[in-house]
Chains A and B, each alone.
Chain A
Amino acid sequence: MPRKNRRAPDEPLGPVRRPQSEAEMWALVPGFDVRRVASEKPYRCPGCDHMIQPGVWHLVVIPQDDPDERRHWHTECWRRELHRTRGKPRPHD
């Protein structure tokens, strides 16, 4: 008694892709543009105060009402910031 839902899915389970410049969807919050970047320059992450090394994929967060206040965050530090501020991050000094 073959059951059609018993078979493994035909699609290959290879690596998944998303546009490299798109941040993870959980990283997006109202009022901010969040993009995924890797750059040739090091940046200091406002979350942990450590450097983001050149070439490391991370997030650049831009307040929509104050684009000059853009900051580069480690992805995990941004996640913590969202958790800490209950999804309403404030621009850092």
Chain B
Amino acid sequence: MGTIRNEIRRLRFEHGEMTQQELAEKIKVTRQTVNAIEQGKYSPSLEAAFRISAVFGKPLESVFHYSQDE
């Protein structure tokens, strides 16, 4: 199994200190789901991942990183 990490927290900060609630409303999920994604406790669907990338105007691989466990 691998691990999916993300840069959402940093990107939110770089986009005018966007709050989790603001991001949640843009991608149509709850604030708790954004928090779970940020902390790596929940891996979003491909659709939600694309929506997050679109909000920040970055390609998917700049927002999410997959590392395979040895």
Report if A and B associate in a common complex: no
